[in-house]
Chain A
Amino acid sequence: MSVQTLYTAATGMEALETKLDVIANNMANINTTGFKKDRANFEDLFYKQERLPGALDSDGNRTSTGIEVGLGTRVSSTQSDFDQGAFITTGNQLDVAIEGDGFFRVQDPNGDYLYTRAGNFGINADGNLVMASASTGWLIDPQINIPPEAVNIIITPDGVVQYQTTDSTQYQGGDQLQLATFINPDGLLKMGDSLFKETEASGNAQTGNPTDPGFGSVRQGFLEASNVEPVSELIDLITTQRAFELNSQVVQAGDQIMQVVANLRRG
């Protein structure tokens, strides 16, 4: 009966709505530093096996293929795309972009580690480097100390932070930024505030210094822009909307058929 048609088309509409949500979030974050776009992956649901291939039909014929009716679709996963975003020159001494793999590690007030690609840092009252984009200004781990009297700050590609003070031309300091990588960055949990959290699926964080093999290097005075590409998102938006409409048409066709059936008996 065509009730199945209604439900099958509904799974399509539901899955496409999820895809639309993902696109909307990508578009909303087109200007978010260090943002990594997501993609919804689809898979077909299971199949009603009305007759297996090779079975005998009622006329005694052996059929080469069976009758299988699929029950629709669902979103199997959303996957982040960790492609490098564009670099934006800011000239700000406390802006740092990662070129290559890796995340900065930050510590939340509970002592838990979180990870980010957003390198727009600030300095807190204690003279420690903090994440400026997080609403609370969480500490970068390991801690990098830059006293208030520092004037010229230099961050080398391998992450060493040095500074001059007003009363000396010598560079001081030497704390080093560290990066963390994951076997499966797709498995990281997005926390908002440009933060990612380690999960079972991502594997444990492996830390290393910038420019170590397998880790990216850091660039002072740059920020990594969002890797959302507006054109491809718009194309996705259009195709998703159309696909949604198509599925709604199927719902209408199914409904129409049921209506015809309901009107079969007259008088």
Chain B
Amino acid sequence: MPLGLYIAADGAQAQSKRLETIANNLANVDTAGFKPDIATFQARYSEAIQQNQDFPGSQSINDIGGGVKVIQTQTNFAAGRIEHTGNDTDLAIIGEGFFQVQGGDGQQYLTRAGDMRLDNTGRLVTADGDRPVLSADGSSITLTPGVPWNISVDGFVQQNGEAAPLALVRPESLNELTKVGSNLFRPGGEVEPVAANQREVRQGYLEMSGSNSTRQMMSMIETSRAFEANAKMIQNQDQMVQNLVGRLLRA
């Protein structure tokens, strides 16, 4: 069968994967602290080069592209829109860094979603209620009920004249963060605290989703059209073979 058939199929498959990513970005346009993903494509070397029968740049008949594949999904960590909510337990990080929270499995995760709340023991926890937000020394933050409290701009939880610093950390590289759902990222390596002069937290504000619906919509249209173009190519190749077979039979 002609190689083009497989190349076009690869193209369609890659576009379909990209559409899944866009669907997730659009589903999360209202998720606090959400960071959209971008599916990145990479051109494949031709069949001959992949089998070491030729080398890239040989300018021979073999040196044509070998289709496309999704090489990675990359998360765009650009800051989302900051919305004023007036809710005491809503926190937004301005600039770099992540909140550190303790997962049910004992692991520590990072999040930008600041829609926190208090649980029945007065601990500061994430919105779904079961992951304590950690302070810089790795313990959870517990507030005494009925006593006024606030969070300072540099991220200190202040109550009764005492102040506990919220953990604000960043990984060595944003690329090593894995998304695990529930607005959490799993760090792949060590995390380091954000420098004292760069800590900035706003109480009563929320960082909304970083997913830009207009741009996602554009990508979606582009993706569907590219998919259709690839499908058209499959049909063309198929027709070509059909014609060929027909002619051979008549001859």
Nearest-CB distance from B32 to chain A (Å)? 7
Count chain A residues whose beta carbon lies closer than 8 angstroms to a beta carbon of B.
75
A19 proximity list for chain B (CB < 8 A): 30
A185 — nearest CB in chain B belongs to which residue?
Answer: B118
Cα separation A240 to B30 with both chains bound (whole Å):
8
Instruction: Check: A151 CB closer than 8 A to any chain B CB.
Output: no
B173 — nearest CB in chain A belongs to which residue?
Answer: A64
A11 proximity list for chain B (CB < 8 A): 27
A69 proximity list for chain B (CB < 8 A): 17, 20-21, 24, 37, 73
Cα separation A68 to B71 with both chains bound (whole Å):
11
Q: A215-B146, A249-B220 are in contact. Are A43 and B37 (CB under 8 A)?
A: no
Tell whether, in the assembled complex, residue B31 and residue A44 are in contact, meaning their CB atoms are under 8 Å apart.
Answer: yes
Q: A2-B20, A68-B37 are in contact. Are A214 and B146 (CB under 8 A)?
A: yes
Main secondary structure of the interface of A (DSSP, over half): mixed
Tell whether, in the assembled complex, residue B179 and residue A70 are in contact, meaning their CB atoms are under 8 Å apart.
Answer: yes
Of B55-63, B94-102, B194-202, B227-235, the stretch lying at the interface with chain A is: B227-235
Cα separation A83 to B90 with both chains bound (whole Å):
13
Interface bits B212-228 vs A (CB < 8 Å: 1, else 0): 01001100110110011
Cα separation A265 to B213 with both chains bound (whole Å):
34
Interface size class of B (residues with CB under 8 A): 35 or more
Tell whether, in the assembled complex, residue B30 and residue A203 are in contact, meaning their CB atoms are under 8 Å apart.
Answer: no
Which listed residue (B34, B120, B147, B183) contacts A201, Cβ 8 A? Answer: B120
- 15 residue pairs of the A-B complex, CB under 8 angstroms, read A8-B20, A43-B31, A53-B175, A63-B72, A67-B72, A68-B178, A69-B17, A70-B24, A79-B117, A81-B86, A186-B117, A187-B120, A242-B213, A246-B216, A257-B224
Instruction: Check: A136 CB closer than 8 A to any chain B CB.
Output: no
Most buried by A among B29, B71, B223: B29
Instruction: Check: A171 CB closer than 8 A to any chain B CB.
Output: no
Given A69-B73, A70-B181, A73-B31; 18 other pairs, CB 8 A cutoff: A8-B20, A8-B24, A39-B85, A42-B32, A42-B34, A44-B182, A53-B188, A65-B75, A67-B73, A70-B21, A71-B181, A72-B23, A76-B128, A77-B128, A79-B117, A101-B146, A206-B145, A253-B220
A47 proximity list for chain B (CB < 8 A): 178-181
B152 proximity list for chain A (CB < 8 A): none
Most buried by A among B26, B87, B121, B183: B26
Instruction: Check: A49 CB closer than 8 A to any chain B CB.
Output: yes
Instruction: Check: A5 CB closer than 8 A to any chain B CB.
Output: yes
Instruction: Check: B119 CB closer than 8 A to any chain A CB.
Output: yes
Instruction: Check: A234 CB closer than 8 A to any chain B CB.
Output: no
Instruction: Check: B16 CB closer than 8 A to any chain A CB.
Output: yes
Instruction: Check: B136 CB closer than 8 A to any chain A CB.
Output: no
A264 proximity list for chain B (CB < 8 A): 231, 234-235, 238
Most buried by B among A63, A70, A203: A70
A210 proximity list for chain B (CB < 8 A): none
How many A-B pairs have beta carbons closer than 8 Å: the answer is 222
B224 proximity list for chain A (CB < 8 A): 253, 256-257
Tell whether, in the assembled complex, residue B146 and residue A5 are in contact, meaning their CB atoms are under 8 Å apart.
Answer: no
Q: Which of B1-50 contact A (CB under 8 A)?
A: 12, 16-17, 19-32, 34, 37, 39, 45, 50
Q: Which of A154-200 contact B (CB under 8 A)?
A: 181-184, 186-187, 200
Tell whether, in the assembled complex, residue A186 and residue B118 are in contact, meaning their CB atoms are under 8 Å apart.
Answer: yes
Cα separation A200 to B130 with both chains bound (whole Å):
13
B235 proximity list for chain A (CB < 8 A): 264, 266
Tell whether, in the assembled complex, residue B34 and residue A183 are in contact, meaning their CB atoms are under 8 Å apart.
Answer: no
Nearest-CB distance from A264 to chain B (Å)? 6
A1 — nearest CB in chain B belongs to which residue?
Answer: B16
A239 — nearest CB in chain B belongs to which residue?
Answer: B30
Q: A64-B175, A68-B179, A247-B27 are in contact. Are A43 and B146 (CB under 8 A)?
A: no
Q: A68-B178, A76-B128 are in contact. Are A250 and B26 (CB under 8 A)?
A: yes
Q: A72-B27, A183-B121 are in contact. Are A249 and B128 (CB under 8 A)?
A: no
Cα separation A44 to B188 with both chains bound (whole Å):
20
Instruction: Check: B141 CB closer than 8 A to any chain A CB.
Output: no
Instruction: Check: A28 CB closer than 8 A to any chain B CB.
Output: no
Most buried by B among A57, A76, A202, A249: A76
A51 proximity list for chain B (CB < 8 A): 72
Most buried by B among A41, A77, A261: A41
Cα separation A16 to B22 with both chains bound (whole Å):
17
Instruction: Check: B191 CB closer than 8 A to any chain A CB.
Output: no
Cα separation A101 to B148 with both chains bound (whole Å):
11
B221 — nearest CB in chain A belongs to which residue?
Answer: A253
